[in-house]
Amino acid sequence: MTTDLFDVVPDVRPSREAMADGAVLLRGFARPFEAELLPALREIVKQAPFRHLITPGGHRMSVAMTNCGSVGWVSDHTGYRYDAIDPESGQKWPAMPPVLRKLAADAAADAGFNSFGPEACLINRYVPGAKLSLHQDKDELDFDAPIVSVSLGLPAIFLFGGPKRADKPARYRLEHGDVVIWGGPSRLFFHGVAPLADGEHPVMGRQRINLTFRKAR
């Protein structure tokens, strides 16, 4: 008889869950990357600090954002766009560190997207109370490429709707280390994040960080 380690040690088998056609949730996928990932994020945030962007409608977003990669997602009174220059510093965004690139590519490959090469990584920071209203991600040129998202820190309730704004969203709790690959039809589905509940994460403190890797052009 063989002994399977996974039979006796709970919660170590990586799980894969289909959320919708093309949307795959890999619970804990980012955990093995953590030791390299967190210092890399700290360096990015030193060079390009989190800031609250203004929507074209004039609202200040409760989520604070920054980017790394050859382009970054920005919003101002003129609209949304990907830009090679950080408008705060007037400099290029920090380069995408290899550990981030590898995490995104490995996760995408696990979901069947074999040569995912994102130019942009948008980094969102939520403190308790911060939220992201229901929206579609439509500022990229290539909707055939997936978006890969990585959740870190406090858990969030992710709202996952459908192709129409009025579609009632399903709720998923996304936790530290969870990775989701959004491809196929789900790529253009409405989604958002419910106001973050208060808490203290043992590694990340009183916040949630979300990375989204995007093929912008």
* Binding interface with Fe ion (CB under 5 A): 137
Residue 149 touches which member of Fe ion, ligand MD3, none, C-beta under 5-8 Å by kind = ligand MD3
Rounded least distance, CB 28 to Fe ion, Å: 22
What's the closest the beta carbon of residue 55 comes to Fe ion, in angstroms? Answer: 13
- Secondary structure of residue 108 in the 3-state scheme: helix
Q: Which two tokens stand for residue 35?
A: 């030791």
Minimal distance in Å, beta carbon 1 to ligand MD3?
Answer: 43
**Closer residue to Fe ion (CB): 33 or 160:** 160
Greatest distance between any 2 Cα atoms in the chain:
66
**Sheet bearing 15-20, strands edge to edge:** 15-20, 23-27, 179-182, 147-153, 208-214, 120-126, 64-69
First to last CA, the chain: 53
Closer to Fe ion by CB, 137 or 140: give it: 137
Contacted entry of ligand MD3, Fe ion, none for residue 75, CB cut-off 5 to 8 Å set by kind: none
Instruction: Quote the least distance from Cβ 86 to ligand MD3, whole Å.
Output: 17
Residues that bind ligand MD3 (CB under 6 A): 122, 124, 132, 137, 147, 149, 180, 182, 186-187, 189, 191, 193, 210, 212
C-alpha separations of 207 from 51, 58, 152, 154 in Å:
15, 25, 9, 6
